[in-house]
């Protein structure tokens, strides 16, 4: 992760990482999706999707932004067709709603070390051009005190404002964002289908999802993938490292 990327994450709460997936990876995954049933977590759709659990280009970001105990909390896919309606803006440390309490949504930077609660890595298997819709966010809102001041009509995309953005992505790009950021899904207006795979990570001690991974659902896992799919705990965890042969 470069110093500039760190600056952007701290400033805006999200980051577009260009060209993460190769042409071959994109074609292979799109073919499996074309011929498959698209149900359940994508990490179980076969080898190329399993590799995304600890993709070598993404793992350094996870370790730097969440810490070496990082675990995969849950994963799912979003498919949207022209006219699909999306979902309103949400997120922020309290979910941005009166009475909200999203304990796993947080962002901190202390002495130059960034740490987050639940974070998302979105792999884009289709482009989202300006105005296409899909992922949208309020840059910088991961540090906002006034989350509940967001007007409802902005939350539901009924009024456009300069502070809600829909980041442009090309096929193979990744969007990183912290769930402490206000974000949501704009209605999809492009002719092509939106195809996004969301892999959501938490620090090792915490969980958002109430369902944990069952290692028996996967044919073969590396030692590192087994560690990253482990249920939350503080004790008894090995650190995730970039070394392929270790956890």
Point out which residues bind ligand AKG (CB under 6 A). 78, 120, 122, 134-135, 183-185, 196, 198
Give least dist CB 156 to ligand AKG, A: 13
Which stretch of DSSP H or E encloses residue 6? helix 3-12
How many whole angstroms separate alpha carbon 71 and alpha carbon 61? 13
Q: Closer to ligand AKG at the Cβ: 45 or 135?
A: 135
Residue 150: CB minimum distance to ligand AKG, A:
15
Nearer to ligand AKG by C-beta: 25 or 179?
179
Residue least distant from ligand AKG (Cβ)? 185
Give the integer Cα–Cα distance in Å for 40 and 38.
7
Q: How far is the CB of 212 from ligand AKG (least distance, A)?
A: 19
For residue 21, the minimal CB distance to ligand AKG (Å) is 16
Nearer to ligand AKG by Cβ, of 137 and 227: the residue is 137
Q: Which is nearer to ligand AKG, 59 or 137 (CB)?
A: 137
Q: Which of 239, 235, 106, 232 is nearest to 180 (CA)?
A: 106
The conformational region for residue 176 under phi > 0 = left, psi -120 to 50 = alpha, else beta, is: beta
Query: Distance between CA atoms of 58 and 94, rounded to whole angstroms?
Result: 27
């Amino acid at each position: 992760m470069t110093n500039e990327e760190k600056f952007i994450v701290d400033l805006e709460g999200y980051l577009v990482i260009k060209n993460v997936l190769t042409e071959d990876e994109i074609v292979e995954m799109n073919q499996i999706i074309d011929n498959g049933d698209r149900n359940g977590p994508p990490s179980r759709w076969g080898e190329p999707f399993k590799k995304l659990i600890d993709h070598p280009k993404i793992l350094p970001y996870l370790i730097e932004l969440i810490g070496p105990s990082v675990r995969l909390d849950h994963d799912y896919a979003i498919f949207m067709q022209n006219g699909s309606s999306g979902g309103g803006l949400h997120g922020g440390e309290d979910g941005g709603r009166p009475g909200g309490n999203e304990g796993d949504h947080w962002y901190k930077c202390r002495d130059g070390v960034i740490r987050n609660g639940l974070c998302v890595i979105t792999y884009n298997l289709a482009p989202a051009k300006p105005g296409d819709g899909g992922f949208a966010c309020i840059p910088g809102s991961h540090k906002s005190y006034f989350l509940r001041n967001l007007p409802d009509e902005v939350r539901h995309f009924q009024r456009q404002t300069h502070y809600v953005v829909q980041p442009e992505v090309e096929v193979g790009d990744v969007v990183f964002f912290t769930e402490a950021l206000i974000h949501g899904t704009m209605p999809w207006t492009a002719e092509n289908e939106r195809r996004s795979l969301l892999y959501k990570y938490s620090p090792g001690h915490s969980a958002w999802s109430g369902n944990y991974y069952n290692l028996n659902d996967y044919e073969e896992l590396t030692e590192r993938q087994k560690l990253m799919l482990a249920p939350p705990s503080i004790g008894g965890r090995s650190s995730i490292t970039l070394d392929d042969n270790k956890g």
